[in-house]
Amino acid sequence: MEAEMDSDLGGDRLTLYGAEFSSRLLAGTAQYPSPAILSRAIAAAKAEIVTVSLRRESGGSRSGERFFALIRELGVRLLPNTAGCRSVREAVTTAQMAREVFDTPWIKLEVIGEEDTLQPDVFGLVEAASILTRDGFQVFPYTTEDLVAAEKLLGAGCEVLMPWGSPIGSGRGLNNPYALKSLRAHFPDVPMIIDAGIGAPSHAAVAMEMGFDAVLSNTAIAKAGDPVKMARAFALAVEAGRTGYRADLMQARDMAAPSTPVIGRAFSSRARA
């Protein structure tokens, strides 16, 4: 039975810009206590894609080179990001530098528009995505659950969307499940990765049960008391959520529905009297 389940899951692969992956959990690489724990956590998560940030001040430094060498040793696909960029120009320049450093057309595009929530600037995001896709990048835009923004990003050439669950590092899970469900329903064939705000394995499971294709987690794993155990918990949650979604979850209802049939049930003559 277990072999059959593994085989079934093995046929359910994640496809992003033509590349296929078995794991649906993406992992960030920031804030870990040590390089050794980072390596063990990525292995425990069974992540095949990790995000990396490129800071201009560290791109050519010795410490930066050591970190990039460690990431390469993990044997995973790199998804560089433009974390912290506040303008289109800054994001585009950072993406171009990342392509040169990491030798990949993939870029997780962030253009931050609001300081307190770190909410994406969807106007700048669409502009930057248009520039980068014309330049040959394969863009993973960090966006909101806004349907119009999603339509514009797809029109700009993006083939993947990364809607936020809640503000970066908040750990609040899915702040607006109704809007996220609407986004998923409007674009059923577009790969979508829930990014930001995922604070617990249960949050990841809920996202997967809603039909999202993958989850990205960083802070919740890296800042846990035991990052390696938490990474494993997230891997199990993502797998459980995806399996539940594929099994066709029951729909919630307002009234009770007996699990035992009423017709044909036993009753006593005393109760009848």
How many Å apart are CA 265 and CA 160, to the nearest integer? Answer: 53
**φ/ψ (deg, to 5) at 243:** -65, -40
User: Around Cβ 47, how many Cβ atoms within 10 Å?
Assistant: 29
Contact predicate 105/140, CB 8 Å: no
152 is a catalytic site residue: no
List 46, 108, 223, 229, catalytic entry: 108
How many Å apart are CA 241 and CA 103, to the nearest integer? Answer: 33
Contact predicate 231/198, CB 8 Å: no
Distance of CA 13 to the CA centre of its chain: 15
How many Å apart are CA 169 and CA 195, to the nearest integer? Answer: 10
SS (H, E, C) 129-164: HHHHHHCCCEEEEEECCCHHHHHHHHHCCCCCEEEE
User: Around Cβ 63, how many Cβ atoms within 10 Å?
Assistant: 8
How many Å apart are CA 35 and CA 149, to the nearest integer? Answer: 37
User: Around Cβ 118, how many Cβ atoms within 10 Å?
Assistant: 18
**φ/ψ (deg, to 5) at 51:** -95, 145
User: Around Cβ 38, how many Cβ atoms within 10 Å?
Assistant: 26
Catalytic (active-site) positions? 108
